């Protein structure tokens, strides 16, 4: 048994045959409610993008608050002639300087007590 398939485009009246190629674009019809929902979706997605862009440029972080978090250390630059003892005396003149010098050495992981002018070191803020 033999089967013969005839292509409709090869026939004489190929222009009358409706195929997906000959049809125009399908018209999309939305009800007023559908148009409102489509507008709402576009506006909400654009507003989310806009707000996230502002948050990224302003440096917003999750869980941020208006209060600044105080650090237990202050970073200072060593001036010419400064020593660990003179820095400790300037921070806490009436306190025991030995404990403060030991804290400065420990926090900054100093190998020797010698400091260089311009060197940045961290100083504990506790009295």
Q: Where are the domains of the chain?
A: 79-124
Query: In this predicted structure, what is the pLDDT of residue 79?
Result: 92
Exposed / middle / buried, residue 78 (Cβ in 10 Å: 0-12, 13-18, 19+) = middle
- The pLDDT tens digits for 29-86 are 889 999 999 999 999 999 999 998 888 877 756 555 555 667 788 899 999 999 988 9
Residue 10: pLDDT over 90: no
Q: Give me the CATH topology for the region 79-124.
A: Membrane-bound Lytic Murein Transglycosylase D; Chain A (3.10.350)
Query: In this predicted structure, what is the pLDDT of residue 47?
Result: 95
CA distance 78 to 85: 12
Residue 122: pLDDT over 80: yes
Q: Judge contact between 121 and 108, C-beta under 8 A.
A: yes
């Amino acid at each position: 048994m033999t089967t013969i398939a005839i292509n409709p485009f090869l026939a004489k009246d190929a222009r009358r045959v409706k195929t997906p190629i000959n049809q125009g674009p399908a018209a999309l019809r939305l009800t007023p409610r559908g148009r409102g929902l489509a507008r709402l979706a576009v506006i909400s997605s654009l507003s989310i993008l806009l707000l996230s862009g502002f948050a990224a440029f302003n440096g917003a972080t999750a869980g941020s608050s208006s209060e600044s978090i105080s650090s237990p250390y202050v970073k200072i630059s060593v001036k010419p002639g400064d020593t660990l003892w003179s820095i400790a005396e300037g921070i806490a003149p009436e306190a025991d300087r030995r404990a403060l010098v030991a804290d400065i050495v420990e926090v900054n992981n100093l190998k020797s007590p010698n400091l260089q002018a311009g060197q940045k070191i961290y100083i504990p803020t506790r009295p």
